[in-house]
């Protein structure tokens, strides 16, 4: 691997670590067990620091070292990870991300601007290190041990199975000090997890003064430890020196019998001895890897013998595992494997599947015309297989929406503090899957909805308390599947929308004529009109009437819908409904004269025979007013229908409208082909598809058709009055 390739891997790894660091910092406040979160943040910072040193990125090393020092104090219990420190560490994470981005852009030594931006952050961190900021009330337990007890500690190679304490034997590697590690810091941190009942310093490796290297470490410790922890937790204490040092951990005698019991209760799927010992907790993964590496040199030596010789596992436990292994049949367990696939290759696969569907439609049409029974049966089977290939190919591009939702943890954290509000984000349905192209394009609309709910929806803490609500507001993101589509809701428990105020503003702007009786859904839909805002003052987040119309336009571009429900004083819910994929849909073909058009099947409610009074643009559909629009008139097609016309009843959110066409041609798998830039401004058309005959059919834009039909029909109330 050349240096440039290694540097690119470093950049990718750093960005992933910074994301993990940010996620852990945002989650630590709500976590019941904070130690693991704090350790995750520390590990991320330490790894970035170490990797940066390999590439001589001294500016990243210097900044991250200060961050790591503060985190080490937090980890040791000397500093409280409060809201103020979390905000500072998040800002440090942003600065580290900027430093890494600078390296990606070719700035190997950083820039003066970045260095200047990091100065106030370093000053804030050093304030915690110098004691200018009050330390935590709970200080880490010291590792001081009475000298009298030190004599009772037995070495790791003794017969100590009957001991009622954990026995930890560690010999630090010679480069520990050079790597910036303090051996005593590990012992101090160990003291925060329980009680160190005895400690003996081992200096057997210490050479003569004349040959001693002052930068090398020659220390070792024998530790007797009591605490309610497992072996993996104790091993993690020494995680950052694990590769350079020798570490042996033996459990208390009481745990040995527990390990044997766990082995007996294990199911028969873990047939490898090492895996069984790892599963029951007596062996850690790193100890197993070390034993396996040793076994490579002596393949005839059983792994159990190596583990006992190393002092990793007691003989009693190995014997119990061997007995369990004999009782288990040799079965091969298939391991779940995943591979990374370039997104362009997936897109190419979807395009090929689309072409296959078009070719299949052509074969079906030829078979239908030929009227050969065997050929029709074969093409029917081919169609079924093509549908399965289509579904499998589309499934490859499905990704979980959780990654998009998790981005808003930081947004809510920062914006709530900017607004001076206490807001908690609750995420549900993060495992819901949808097409990656939809995920990529839904982020910005959701961002605006979240920020708008925080600014306009959720009240201040004082107002919430006065209204009898909890002081902390709640913003909830949810996603779920519904009838072949994905539904995303943004819900807050704020003050809700003021219906009368929205209606008055709409009348003032001429959007609604005075005296019209609109439903709640129609009133709330006015919020998505361009330039509409009821905010009394403009803030940095919202209030200019720019955004909600863009949200609706962006969601409509994804063939989706957005609607809003609200209850004053209770809260507001914005519902976004999107198709699972933008590549292939089930469509319904209609004809006007010789032209064929496709309509997304999930937006069609029913088809009925045409009936309406002359010169009316609405019909009576079982007692309900249904405004309609004539497709022939919309696209300027001359002539008249040879036979009776039909009405396709379209649905868009809470609204319904009819589309008058000549003929109904049935369902069709529609492969969506985007329109060129020349046709970008064409209204009521969202794309095109190719029919089995090779002809091009336009895909109709249902939201625009419904909106145009509603506008053309005039007042729904007046139409209903005429029907009555």
Query: Are 266 and 279 within 8 A, CB to CB?
Result: yes
User: Alpha helix locations (H) across 420-453?
Assistant: 436-452
pLDDT of residue 490: 92
Residue with tokens 């009680």: 195
pTM of the model: 0.57
Query: Are 365 and 665 within 8 A, CB to CB?
Result: no
pLDDT of residue 262: 53
Low-confidence residues in the chain, pLDDT < 50: 1, 136-162, 268-270, 329-336, 538, 543-546, 715-724
Q: Which DSSP state fits 673?
A: B
H helices, E strands: number in the chain: 24, 21
Which domains does the chain show, CATH number per domain? 3-130 (1.20.120.160), 147-327 (no CATH), 343-397 (1.10.287), 399-579 (3.30.565.10), 584-723 (2.30.30.40)
Query: Are 664 and 590 within 8 A, CB to CB?
Result: yes
Ramachandran angles phi, psi of 145, nearest 5°: -130, 135
Residue with tokens 């046709």: 679
pLDDT of residue 590: 92
- For 178-247, the DSSP string reads TTT--HHHHHHHHHTTSEEEEEEEE-TT---TTT--TTS---EEEEEEE-S--HHHHHHHTGGGTTTSEE
- For 586-655, the DSSP string reads EEEEEEETTEEEEEEGGGEEEEEE----TT-SEEEETTEEEEEEEHHHHTT--S--SS--EEEEEEETTE
Token pair of 92 as six digits: 């440090």
Token pair of 74 as six digits: 């937090």
Query: Are 240 and 172 within 8 A, CB to CB?
Result: no
Is 356 buried (19+), middle (13-18) or exposed (0-12) by CB count in 10 A? Answer: middle
Distance in angstroms (rounded) separating the CA atoms of residues 52 and 94: 16
Query: Are 674 and 621 within 8 A, CB to CB?
Result: no
Query: Are 632 and 593 within 8 A, CB to CB?
Result: yes
H/E run at residue 562: strand 561-567
Q: Output the CA–CA distances (angstroms, integers) from residue 159 to 100, 205, 565, 579, 616, in the order listed.
A: 51, 23, 71, 66, 98
Quick one: angle between helices 253-265 and 315-327, nearest 10? 10
Q: Which DSSP state fits 456?
A: I
pLDDT of residue 264: 54
Token pair of 656 as six digits: 């319904």
pLDDT of residue 383: 83
198-236 pLDDT, tens digit each: 887 877 778 888 888 888 888 888 788 888 888 788 888
């Amino acid at each position: 691997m050349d240096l440039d390739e290694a540097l690119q891997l470093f950049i990718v790894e750093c960005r992933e670590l910074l994301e993990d660091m940010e996620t852990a910092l945002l989650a630590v406040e709500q976590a019941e067990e904070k130690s693991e979160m704090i350790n995750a943040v520390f590990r991320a910072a330490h790894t970035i620091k170490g990797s940066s040193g390999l590439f001589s990125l001294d500016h990243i090393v210097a900044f991250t070292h200060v961050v790591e020092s503060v985190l080490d104090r937090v980890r040791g219990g000397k500093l409280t990870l409060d809201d103020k420190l979390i905000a500072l560490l998040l800002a440090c994470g942003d600065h580290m991300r900027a430093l890494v981005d600078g390296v990606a852009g070719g700035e190997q030594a950083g820039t003066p601007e970045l260095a200047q931006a990091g100065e106030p952050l370093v000053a804030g961190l050093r304030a915690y290190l110098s004691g200018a900021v009050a330390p935590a009330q709970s200080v880490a337990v010291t590792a001081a041990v009475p000298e009298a007890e030190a004599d009772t500690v037995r070495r790791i190679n003794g017969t100590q199975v009957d001991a009622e304490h954990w026995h930890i034997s560690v010999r630090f590697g010679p480069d520990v000090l050079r790597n910036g590690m303090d051996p005593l810091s590990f012992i101090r941190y160990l003291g925060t997890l329980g009680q160190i009942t005895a400690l003996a310093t081992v200096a057997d490796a210490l050479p003569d003064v004349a040959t001693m290297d002052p930068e090398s470490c020659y220390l070792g410790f024998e530790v007797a430890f009591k605490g309610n922890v497992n072996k993996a937790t104790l091993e993690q204490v020494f995680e950052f020196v694990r590769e350079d040092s020798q570490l042996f951990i033996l459990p208390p005698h009481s745990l040995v019998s527990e390990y044997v019991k766990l082995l007996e209760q294990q199911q028969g799927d873990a047939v490898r001895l090492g895996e069984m010992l790892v599963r029951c907790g007596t062996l850690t993964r790193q100890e197993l890897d070390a034993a396996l590496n040793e076994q490579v040199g002596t393949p005839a030596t059983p792994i159990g013998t190596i583990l006992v010789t190393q002092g990793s596992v007691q003989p009693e436990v190995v014997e119990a595992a061997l007995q369990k292994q004999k009782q288990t049949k040799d079965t091969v367990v298939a391991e779940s494997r995943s591979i990374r696939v370039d997104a362009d290759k997936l897109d190419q696969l979807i395009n090929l599947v689309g072409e296959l569907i078009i070719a299949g439609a052509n074969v079906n049409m030829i078979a239908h015309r030929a009227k050969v029974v065997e050929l029709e049966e074969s093409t029917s089977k081919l169609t079924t297989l093509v549908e399965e290939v289509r579904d499998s190919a589309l499934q490859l591009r499905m990704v979980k929406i959780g990654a998009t939702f998790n981005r808003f943890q930081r947004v809510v954290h920062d914006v709530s503090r900017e607004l001076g509000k206490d807001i908690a984000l609750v995420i549900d349905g993060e495992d819901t899957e949808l097409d990656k192209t939809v995920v990529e394009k839904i982020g910005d609309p959701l961002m605006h909805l979240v920020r708008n709910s925080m600014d306009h929806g959720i009240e201040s803490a004082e107002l919430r308390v006065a209204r009898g609500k909890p002081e902390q507001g709640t913003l909830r993101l949810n996603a779920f599947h519904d009838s072949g589509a994905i539904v995303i809701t943004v819900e807050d428990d704020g003050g809700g929308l003021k219906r009368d105020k929205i209606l008055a503003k709409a009348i003032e702007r001429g959007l609604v004529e005075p005296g019209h009786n609109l439903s709640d859904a129609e009133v709330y839909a006015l919020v998505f009109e361009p330039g509409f805002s009821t905010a009394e003052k403009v803030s940095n987040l919202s209030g200019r009437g720019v955004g909600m119309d863009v949200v609706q336009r962006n969601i409509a571009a994804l063939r989706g819908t957005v609607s809003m429900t609200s209850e004053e004083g209770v809260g507001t819910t914005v519902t976004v409904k999107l198709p699972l994929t933008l590549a292939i849909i089930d469509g319904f073909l209609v004809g006007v004269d010789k032209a064929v058009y496709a309509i997304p099947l999930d937006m069609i409610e029913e088809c009925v025979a045409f009936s309406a009074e002359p010169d009316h643009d609405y019909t009576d559909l079982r007692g309900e007013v249904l405004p309609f629009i004539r497709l022939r008139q919309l696209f300027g097609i001359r002539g008249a229908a040879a036979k009776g016309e039909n009405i396709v009843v379209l649905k868009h959110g809470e609204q319904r409208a009819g589309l008058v066409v000549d003929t109904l041609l049935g369902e069709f798998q529609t492969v969506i082909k985007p329109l060129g830039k020349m046709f970008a401004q064409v209204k009521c058309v969202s794309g095109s598809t190719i029919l089995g005959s090779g002809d091009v059919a336009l895909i109709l834009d249902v939201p625009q058709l419904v909106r145009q039909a509603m506008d053309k029909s005039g007042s729904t109330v007046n139409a209903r009055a005429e029907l009555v």
